[in-house]
Amino acid sequence: MVLSVENLSKSFGANIVFHDISFSVNKGEIVCIRGKSGEGKTTLLRCLTALETPDKGSVKINNMYLCKEDSNHIKYAQKNELQAIRQEIGLVFQNFNLFPHMNVMENLMEAPLFLKKDSRENIKSRAEELLKSLELEGKEDSYPFQLSGGQQQRVAIARACMLNPSVLCFDEPTSALDEQTRGQISKIIRYLSSKGIAIIIVTHDNAFADEIAQKIITMKDGKITIEPK
């Protein structure tokens, strides 16, 4: 088990987003989270990636607690451990969030260089390898505005993979993509899964979820139902 969520709850004021939800994700498993707008799907992803703090419950990645409840308060891991745990889970944003002032290679190398993960030479080699696997050779010096939506998304995926995460989260990966690009994203997600990365996908695209998911989590009225495929 790569990711374990236990009794997680989140509210904004009087608005209960989700309450007491639990689920797990295994190595290489593709899990889709679906539900209507406003059901809390993206908020859940943000809690899993420490961009949002839950009110109750725990999130555990590779048997290490990202956060857990302690005396009615959410407590995160100690600073050094927290940094290591956060590197185990990546997020590909719906709007990609690439750095517009950086070219493709710079976007990929920024985080591992900042974190001193390896030598510049090895980091660049890793980036070139990822770009080749995602059919982005020749785009190293391009800036985000020079790329199509599908190419920007693949760069965002490559950037998220630079830190070798155990879990990769996608927020609406097929929104506003044409059929051909949607097919490319399906192929990439299956490839990442085959490499042992656990995949969590938030999507409104029911056909895409039915096609790719090994497990479907439906969010409704603050609760979840889990449907194995």
The domain limits of the chain are: 97-164
Q: What is the pLDDT of residue 29?
A: 98
Q: What is the pLDDT of residue 144?
A: 97
72 exposed, middle or buried (CB, 10 Å; 0-12, 13-18, 19+)? exposed
Distance, in Å, from the CA atom of 58 to the CA atom of 26, rounded to the nearest integer, reads 17
Distance, in Å, from the CA atom of 186 to the CA atom of 167, rounded to the nearest integer, reads 17
Q: What is the pLDDT of residue 229?
A: 72
Rounded mean pLDDT for each run of 10 residues along the chain, 229 residues in total: 97 95 98 94 95 97 96 93 94 93 98 92 96 94 95 95 96 85 91 97 92 96 91
Q: What is the pLDDT of residue 102?
A: 98
Q: What is the pLDDT of residue 26?
A: 97
Q: What is the pLDDT of residue 202?
A: 96
Q: CA separation (Å) from 173 to 19, 117, 184, 200, 218?
A: 26, 28, 11, 11, 17
